[in-house]
Structure 1
Amino acid sequence: MSNDTTAPSDTPDYKTTLNLPQTDFPMRAGLPKREPEWLARWEKLGVYNKLRSTAGTRTPFVLHDGPPYANGHLHIGHALNKTIKDMVVRSHQMMGFDARYIPGWDCHGLPIEWKIEEQYRAKGKDKDEVPVIDFRQECRKFAEGWVDIQRGEFKRLGITGNWENPYLTMDYHAEAVIAEEFMTFLMNGALYQGSKPVMWSPVEKTALAEAEIEYHDHKSHTIWVPFAAQSGAEGDLAQARVVIWTTTPWTIPSNKAVAYNPKISYGLFRVDATQDESWTAAGETYIFADTLAEEALGKARVTEFTRLRDVSADELAALTLKHPFAGLDGAEGFWDYDVPMIDGDHVTDDAGTGFVHTAPSHGADDYECFVKRNWIDRMTHNVGEESEFLAHVPFFAGQRVFDHKGKEGKANSAVIAKLVEAGGIIARGQVKHSYPHSWRSKAPIIFRNTPQWFAAVDRPLEDDLSTYGDTIRKRALTSIDELVKWTPVTGRNRLYSMIESRPDWVLSRQRAWGVPLTCFTKKGLLPSDADFLLKNAELNARIKAAFEAEGADVWYTAGFKEKMLDGIVDPDAYDQVFDVLDVWFDSGSTHAFVLRDREDGAPDGIADVYLEGTDQHRGWFHSSLLQACGTKGRAPYKNVVTHGFTLDEKGMKMSKSLGNTIVPETIVKQYGADILRLWVAQADYTADQRIGPEILKGVADSYRRLRNTMRYMLGSLGDFTEEMRVDAADMPELEQWVLHRLAQLDETVQAGYRNFEFSSVWTAIFNFATVDLSSFYFDVRKDALYCDGDTLERRAALTVLDLLFHRLTSWLAPILVFTMEEVWLERFPAEDASVHLTDFPATPAAWKNEALAAKWAGIRRARRVVTAALEIQRRDKVIGASLEAAPVVHVSDAALLATLASVPFDDLCITSAVALTGDAAPAEAFRLPEVEGVAVVFETAEGDKCQRCWKILPDVGSHSHAGVCGRCDEALA
């Protein structure tokens, strides 16, 4: 027969007889415009509340929201965080849980108070002249405004949750419970008032927590200061001086000791010659660590020196030194005290001199050295809240370390000048190094000794919650190891090491906007006295009731102390504390007023998941753990999931100054929220995430490919009815293989969702949709779907498409919340329908068939050789379509040959015919190196082109309908 494929002019047009896909589902998504319509629809349906009301006996699953601050528009990190949380919540709901999500906001604390102060400063207004309750009300109003703004921005991202009733740390009940939790610390003995160096912001005039600190490069003064021996020195050490090095000259007036390390090798060094203008002279002797002597003497402009001998640790321990300012005129003996030499493991010979100037009021290591020796009475109080030297300090009174804008004050220069005058310095310089700054004001901080309130982490608690230990630290470490699963597991090590080495928790802040420390102290007593703190259960109940009724502002009303203490103790005998709680105590207490107290909280008051960025190991994960261990006896969470930070496309940290920031609103307006959500799902969120225009283009391309898959299914299923459904056991092998893949995928998807591994879920589904379906199954079955009549193949294919539709749409719904709703409604447009009201379909275990899968793996390998051979012929324009081919396939393996013969291999290869043979392949046959034993010889198909299905077959034209093959003739009948 002729190979002429041109239809005779009298051949009917059979296009209308084909079952071509039909759907109104658009290829162009138009997400920015259409997503708000679905949001409005979900709100009208009340999807979240409907799921709660129909939960029945489902097991509750609670992801507890770490509260963002209500003080600005969302950034891309917020979008990453909330989208991951949303995927967790939605996927667990669809896996059969009652997945609850209560959004929350942190409303107290410095971030908001600082904003109000900035507004005051802009107006020339003095905060201290505003009544405290009025100021607090302004903070509350500010927070309320941003809660509403951020709520709208979060909802626009498709985040589900109880948006109508979120939790706010400034709600009256929340403030009452935070106070109650604090009073639990009071009653169980964890609370104490102490005086120790804390990180202090001179700009914000308050103590800061470690989580409120960030590190930036800072240029500091460096000085080398010699301390002369006062006693304990004999022979050649009598005139020698011990040299310290410090980057904080302003702390020299508060020096109380010099530390050394017995493990370091020290020597006595004599100056033999110097340059001009050196602050040393020939013949003077100094003690240095051996590894640092040359560098230090060089800084002092010493050109020649001699190492005289070793100096032992015993000799150092015997020394008592004089302060460099001892005996100065005008100092009135202020520094005329002994400066002991003390040993300390924190001393190194990496830099400096091998000796550490020790000011216990201005350094953590310094302070611990004094605590170890019970020398707390030697602490100094020389520096005030604005980093100024107090009035009692000679020479330096009023001089500030940093001014009100965080710029360097005159304190360092004044101290250095006085050291020069006193002959107490041998060298000076500057060093650029990483230095702690407040992450709000961006200004440098100082370590300052102030009276603060602490929670003791190693003090045995007076409660009955000792299952996991009798101290906060023991309970926390036990919880980390025994009660919590960590994703990724590195989070466990990070938090464990932090808890293991952390000091007591500084609870107090010298601010106005927060929950006050609801306690009273007895006048005339010291913090160490037994009755210093008033402990009374009835008083605690009164305070909580007052907060429930009027909020924490009531603490600041006139006569409140008298009202609370009436009938319990004499109010005049007690002072009321007006510090406010560290805001981390607020958010750390959320397990109590959210998980424990709300009907939609967690039944046992313990969340299934806490999920935040890696910075929260020192933030919310940390404070929640400490707080709950103090009042609940264990961690408030079962899983802790951690994500990385967002970077630009080059891996740089986003910064407004660099101009590389991307805000969620911009992405949503250009692409739609689903593209942003897909960016989250594609990436391994446990590492830092990169985002930028090129990356988003790639995400959008993946989205379009997936959307095309869904569109094809919708079009093909247009005429599917339940009467067409075919049982799995009766399906052709190809459909049974698809069901096997669905069973495999179901396991992968649900395991991924259970383990919070969204990138594995997306990758598995996307690869299945594009490789197994679009590039193979859909391609092969188009012929049967379009051209067959009521055949088993067509009905089985439609049944599989229906099963695919339900699974792919629901599996992807937690990720592409808007698109999968669109897909679902295109097929099921009922007024009350929503994919988000469904569960993942149950997948029969019988669908798994490993033997069939192995067989079809061999078939697909052989098919690859055929399609690759045909692609060369298409490229060379020998053929235009694969249906023009009838290749000869040589198969050396008899078992594989039999396998290929058992299936319609020509249909699988989308050719009009295939000849299978076990004969040896000729040398010119096409082969793929990676597929052994299969070779292809190209041949063109014989016959005419069927004007309906386009196959080239010998029987075309020999049937009752003109120009068609036998199969199509039967379909037309």
Structure 2
Amino acid sequence: MTEPSDTTRDWRDTVFLPKTDFPMKAGLAAKEPAILERWARIGVYDRLREQRSGRERFILHDGPPYANGDIHMGHAMNKILKDIVVRSQSLMGKDAPYVPGWDCHGLPIEWKIEEAYRAKKRSKDEVPAAEFRQECREYAAKWVSVQAAQFERLGVMGDWADPYLTMNYASEAAIAGELLKFAMSGQLYRGAKPVMWSPVEKTALAEAEVEYEDVVSTQIDVAFEIVDAPNAPELVGAHAVIWTTTPWTIPVNQALAYGEDVEYVLLTPSYGRELTDRSFDNASAVGSKKLVIARELIETAKVRIGFTAFSEHASVKGTDLAGATARHPMHHLGGFFARPRTFLAGDFVTTDAGTGLVHMAPDHGEDDFLLCKSVGIDPVFAVDGAGMYREDWAWLGGQGSVINKKFVASDGPICSDLRDAGALLAASDDFAHSYPHSWRSKAKIIFRATPQWFIPMDGQRVSTSLDTNGVEGSAPPPPLASSEVEKRVPGAAPDELPAFASAAGFGPVVNPGGNAPTLRELALDAIERTTWVPARSQNRIRSMVEGRPDWVISRQRAWGVPIPLYVNRATGDYLRDDAVNSRILDAFRSGGADAWFAADHQALLGSGHALGDYEVVTDILDVWFDSGSTHVFTIEQRYGEGVRANLYLEGSDQHRGWFQSSLLESVGTRGRAPYDAVLTHGFALDGNGRKMSKSVGNVVDPLKIIGESGADILRLWVAQTDYFEDVRIGKEVLAGTGDTYRKLRNTFRYLLGALEGFEDNERVAVGDMPELERYVLRELGTLDVELRAAAEAFEFNRYARALTDFAQDDLSAFFFDIRKDCLYCDAPGSAKRRAYRTVLDTLFHALVRYAAPILCFTAEEVWQARFPSEDGSVHFLEWPELPAVAGDTPLATNWDDVRALRETVTEAIEPLRREKTIRSSLEAEITVPVLPLAAAELAEIFIVADVTQGDAVSVARTDRLKCGRCWRHLPEVAEDGALCHRCAEVVA
């Protein structure tokens, strides 16, 4: 048998093709659980803590999600982003612990238990409080376990063996301890003022527990007869007209407000039809009454009330209404309703809508409360926790609920009574507007004055001996004297108060004083000293803190940390005694919050105080106070007093939630923020940019994505998004993410194959490398600087984009494409091939590290494919050290020009390829205006047969013959299929 000639032999067995077992098909959904299991087996997290011990520490403090259900896309986005931050900080050589945590108290969990009761037709009130609290604890523990496994499956690395839980006994003791710090420094008072209240859940709500929905409400215009007007006697007997969209507040009206600069008109309406027409249902009210309405609002009032013209009798300035009084439409009921309603100047009164006159119900509005309080008019607590008028209320007593549409409708009892009293000028059930709802029950909330515990934003000066970032500290103030407290609800007659109000002291009234800053001032100063990412988010939280009312910290629920205070029945002041506090906290540490409800309170008070002299407070703390205190038992108790988080990272809704409650808690007790920096991300929306909703059916389930495609796809999606804004996720978005992932995976697969068998003795010094290799190393150095800067700024969209662009544009489409001929066909010992593989090794070690924070599973798979080790992990590695490239500026300029010319050449070749004049660029001869390198080198870079200099870029088919091994068209190839000089030497 004769040997085949050079022109007929198949030379594929002599080509050095990449070899690797690393598959192109990822199969992440099946592989990732096994990787997680190995990480747990070798203790990656704990070993990292040992390896990084003594290094600069970076603490990202985890904002606690509620333990009440499977994770959703918002959870996934948040936790993945946190993990990317933590892993990138670890990669940069820092000790970056991550302690996950959960909010375990509060309404969300309590509501779930109540839902289960309702399903069984069982009332919560029938269950002993201790049993109910235990069910809440067990429910939270169940979901902590479920969510922990789900978060781990996302690749989130942390101390899952020892997370923080707000319901742990030590946590509950720490939370109680923080509350007592506020109490001991005088930053606490009990008062009655309107708070957001859920009649369905029967509790006060924090602003962060409220969402706004579009609703259609009943709007009414009501006439209040003016009985006295010292500065405008012509108004006596006329009717001041008020407009409201909350008819249920009319039974609690106590005053009327006017604008001092508003012009009011005394007029008689003309209706243009018979008032006996019963379709005109306010006939008895309108009659021939003279009305008082702001001039600017007459035209809109005409439409609502139904008059077509009017006669003007007089006009007065708002200031002329000072001292005027009117009578309530239901004055005939006597008592509360018979008292004159005073006209008060209100700077909040505008002529944007309504009538220019506003009815005041201090029980149910912040402006109402403050204005009435200034003249000694106080709440009367007519509406109870369920939204019913209390039984002894003269009008509609025992009726409600005030959020029931039928009850407040134009044909409901309120409007019917006003109509019968001749006071209802107009009523319609068609006013569309935005209204607050409980985010848990989805029911409307109301503003309701209740006895609550508050932390004042302005009243009490904050005194602290701790470092305040430049704010001078001072000693805590002395206890308040009995003369500084209010004994009851001021301004209300005893027979108008419900039993709970007259029995409870409302106070202390906190007197501002001294030169120390207020809580608001300290918080605003701390905001200035914090880094906000993105920077614009600082304006958001600043505006919220500037305008927020006092912090309502009490809730009337069962599941949570109690407010461990004793209130003196005689003075209304709460007890401030360090020895008592110490005993309380010892009880919490040994028995948790339940210890307060089952306590021997006399034992806690000790021999110095008699239990009979004190009321035991049974309200629980706002859950935001719980979460606002997590820095204490998660950071300070683990890493030392005074240590604070480097970063808090949550969604933009937490400017009014966790970011703010943590800020206020920390500045109130420590004089500074609990964080150095705060990162805010947007929300995850569906592929069309809509909010995800089960009812709409557009929910994208992260658990389903993980089960089908793997967590790394989700992680790459998070990193690629502009997460400082709201982001979209859906099939099309994930398809694009999948394409990017495959390109990155293919880059690693190529590197693994091309580096098969690479040894250290093959390395080439940078100075001995060809220019192209040195240029690529320089580009890698540029990428390195960009990635580090992006990681330090928490800009992982920028990080991911730079990494993927480099892998695709600089490597796959450029460097790998050019050097594949060298890799496949040069002799293994050739200097150029060795230089190329040396650079590939450098690229491998850099890229696998760069990718690890984002593609945590794939990077591990890649690392293990090249360096298999049961005990090893890519996540033990640190930021790569790259070789220096000398003379980089001229090198970069020259090769940037070469790359630009290469793109032009590629574009010029493409039409001939489409026309099938040539099948590949190797068959092309190129003419270019300038030769930045030698022609032979340019031919290799352009992957063409030859390059010559001419007037413009042009392309022609070569007449050179093709080498049978490397397929290049070269002048020394005598006939098709024969070998070029290089290939002949390699295979000899």
TM class, shorter-chain normalised?
over 0.9
Counterpart of 1:366 in structure 2: which amino acid?
D
SS of the residue 1:296 aligns to: helix
Q: Is 1:950 the counterpart of 2:967 in the alignment?
A: yes
- Contact 1:250 1:411 (C-alpha < 8 Å) held by counterparts: no
**How many angstroms apart in 2 are the aligned matches of 1:902 and 1:637?**
60
Superposed displacement of residue 101, structure 1: 0.6
Superposed displacement of residue 409, structure 1: 4.2
Partner deviation per Cα, 1:280-299 (whole Å, 9 max, x = no partner): 55643211111211221332
Match of 2:235 among 228, 234, 237: 237
Superposed displacement of residue 104, structure 1: 0.2
Structure 1 residues 804, 311: CA separation in 2 closer, same or farther (over 3 Å shift)?
A: same
- Contact 2:248 2:402 (C-alpha < 8 Å) held by counterparts: no
Q: Is 1:498 the counterpart of 2:544 in the alignment?
A: yes
SS of the residue 1:597 aligns to: helix
TM-score by length of 1: 0.93
Q: Is 1:71 the counterpart of 2:109 in the alignment?
A: no
Structure 1 residues 603, 25: CA separation in 2 closer, same or farther (over 3 Å shift)?
A: farther
- Contact 1:158 1:673 (C-alpha < 8 Å) held by counterparts: yes
Structure 1 residues 853, 941: CA separation in 2 closer, same or farther (over 3 Å shift)?
A: farther
Superposed displacement of residue 881, structure 1: 1.6
- Contact 1:883 1:941 (C-alpha < 8 Å) held by counterparts: no
Counterpart residue number, 1:926:
none
Counterpart of 1:866 in structure 2: which amino acid?
V
Q: Is 1:24 the counterpart of 2:21 in the alignment?
A: yes
Counterpart residue number, 2:299:
294
Counterpart residue number, 2:393:
393
Counterpart residue number, 2:77:
80
Superposed displacement of residue 958, structure 1: 9.6
Match of 2:517 among 462, 470, 473: 470
**How many angstroms apart in 2 are the aligned matches of 1:381 and 1:592?**
37
Match of 2:894 among 855, 858, 870: 855
Q: 1:428-827 residue pairs with structure 2 within 5 A?
A: 428-430=427-429, 431-458=431-458, 459-465=460-466, 467-468=470-471, 470-481=517-528, 483-526=529-572, 532-557=573-598, 559-598=599-638, 601=639, 604-789=642-827, 790-827=829-866
- Contact 2:407 2:413 (C-alpha < 8 Å) held by counterparts: no
> How large is the RMSD of aligned CA atoms in angstroms?
1.9
**How many angstroms apart in 2 are the aligned matches of 1:123 and 1:362?**
35
Partner deviation per Cα, 1:654-708 (whole Å, 9 max, x = no partner): 1111110011111111211111111111110000010111111111111111111
Counterpart of 2:240 in structure 1: which amino acid?
V
Superposed displacement of residue 279, structure 1: 4.3
Counterpart of 1:436 in structure 2: which amino acid?
P
Counterpart residue number, 2:506:
none
Partner deviation per Cα, 1:341-361 (whole Å, 9 max, x = no partner): 111121111111111111011
**How many angstroms apart in 1 are the aligned matches of 2:212 and 2:294?**
29
**How many angstroms apart in 2 are the aligned matches of 1:772 and 1:255?**
73
SS of the residue 2:694 aligns to: coil
Counterpart of 2:28 in structure 1: which amino acid?
L
Counterpart of 2:910 in structure 1: which amino acid?
E
Superposed displacement of residue 399, structure 1: 0.8
Counterpart of 1:256 in structure 2: which amino acid?
Q
Counterpart of 1:562 in structure 2: which amino acid?
Q
Using the TM superposition, name which of 416-425 and 808-817 deviates more: 416-425
Superposed displacement of residue 131, structure 1: 1.7
Structure 1 residues 134, 536: CA separation in 2 closer, same or farther (over 3 Å shift)?
A: same
Counterpart residue number, 1:268:
266
Counterpart of 2:366 in structure 1: which amino acid?
A
Number of residue equivalences: 927
Q: Is 1:420 the counterpart of 2:419 in the alignment?
A: yes
Q: 1:189-204 residue pairs with structure 2 within 5 A?
A: 189-204=186-201
SS of the residue 1:324 aligns to: coil
**How many angstroms apart in 1 are the aligned matches of 2:192 and 2:568?**
18
**Aligned residues with identical type, % of pairs:** 48
Q: 1:311-460 residue pairs with structure 2 within 5 A?
A: 311-326=316-331, 328=332, 331-371=333-373, 373-375=374-376, 377-402=377-402, 409=407, 413-430=412-429, 431-458=431-458, 459-460=460-461
**How many angstroms apart in 2 are the aligned matches of 1:411 and 1:575?**
42
Note the residue ranges of structure 1 that are not aligned, 5 or more in a row: 1-6, 527-531, 892-896, 922-933
**How many angstroms apart in 2 are the aligned matches of 1:67 and 1:177?**
16
Q: 1:84-163 residue pairs with structure 2 within 5 A?
A: 84-163=81-160
Structure 1 residues 400, 847: CA separation in 2 closer, same or farther (over 3 Å shift)?
A: farther
- Contact 1:885 1:913 (C-alpha < 8 Å) held by counterparts: yes
Structure 1 residues 577, 445: CA separation in 2 closer, same or farther (over 3 Å shift)?
A: same
Counterpart of 2:550 in structure 1: which amino acid?
D
Counterpart of 1:638 in structure 2: which amino acid?
D
SS of the residue 2:945 aligns to: coil
Counterpart of 1:945 in structure 2: which amino acid?
K
- Contact 1:317 1:342 (C-alpha < 8 Å) held by counterparts: yes
Superposed displacement of residue 956, structure 1: 2.4
SS of the residue 1:914 aligns to: strand
Counterpart of 2:104 in structure 1: which amino acid?
C
**How many angstroms apart in 1 are the aligned matches of 2:909 and 2:224?**
89
Q: Is 1:900 the counterpart of 2:933 in the alignment?
A: yes
Partner deviation per Cα, 1:513-555 (whole Å, 9 max, x = no partner): 00000100111333xxxxx110000111111111111111111
Q: Is 1:185 the counterpart of 2:200 in the alignment?
A: no
Partner deviation per Cα, 1:466-508 (whole Å, 9 max, x = no partner): 6435221111000001x21001112100100111111110010
Using the TM superposition, name which of 139-148 and 119-128 deviates more: 119-128
**How many angstroms apart in 2 are the aligned matches of 1:689 and 1:143?**
30
Counterpart of 1:594 in structure 2: which amino acid?
T
Structure 1 residues 659, 281: CA separation in 2 closer, same or farther (over 3 Å shift)?
A: closer
**How many angstroms apart in 2 are the aligned matches of 1:438 and 1:848?**
65
Counterpart residue number, 1:964:
979
**How many angstroms apart in 2 are the aligned matches of 1:411 and 1:574?**
45
**How many angstroms apart in 2 are the aligned matches of 1:747 and 1:27?**
30
Using the TM superposition, name which of 502-511 and 287-296 deviates more: 287-296
- Contact 1:752 1:758 (C-alpha < 8 Å) held by counterparts: yes
**How many angstroms apart in 1 are the aligned matches of 2:406 and 2:625?**
32
Counterpart of 1:103 in structure 2: which amino acid?
P
**How many angstroms apart in 2 are the aligned matches of 1:273 and 1:882?**
89
Note the residue ranges of structure 2 that are not aligned, 5 or more in a row: 472-515
Superposed displacement of residue 463, structure 1: 3.1
**How many angstroms apart in 2 are the aligned matches of 1:402 and 1:334?**
20
Counterpart of 1:814 in structure 2: which amino acid?
P
Structure 1 residues 287, 886: CA separation in 2 closer, same or farther (over 3 Å shift)?
A: same
Partner deviation per Cα, 1:35-67 (whole Å, 9 max, x = no partner): 101000111111111000111321000000000
Q: Is 1:35 the counterpart of 2:36 in the alignment?
A: no
Structure 1 residues 869, 461: CA separation in 2 closer, same or farther (over 3 Å shift)?
A: closer
**How many angstroms apart in 2 are the aligned matches of 1:472 and 1:744?**
46
Using the TM superposition, name which of 342-351 and 651-660 deviates more: 342-351
Partner deviation per Cα, 1:785-838 (whole Å, 9 max, x = no partner): 111111111011001101111111110111111111111111011221211110
Counterpart of 2:336 in structure 1: which amino acid?
F
- Contact 2:464 2:671 (C-alpha < 8 Å) held by counterparts: no
- Contact 1:743 1:847 (C-alpha < 8 Å) held by counterparts: no
SS of the residue 1:612 aligns to: strand
- Contact 2:369 2:378 (C-alpha < 8 Å) held by counterparts: no
- Contact 2:925 2:955 (C-alpha < 8 Å) held by counterparts: no
- Contact 2:852 2:859 (C-alpha < 8 Å) held by counterparts: yes
Counterpart of 2:396 in structure 1: which amino acid?
F
Counterpart of 2:305 in structure 1: which amino acid?
A
Structure 1 residues 845, 280: CA separation in 2 closer, same or farther (over 3 Å shift)?
A: farther
**How many angstroms apart in 2 are the aligned matches of 1:144 and 1:785?**
57
Counterpart of 2:807 in structure 1: which amino acid?
A
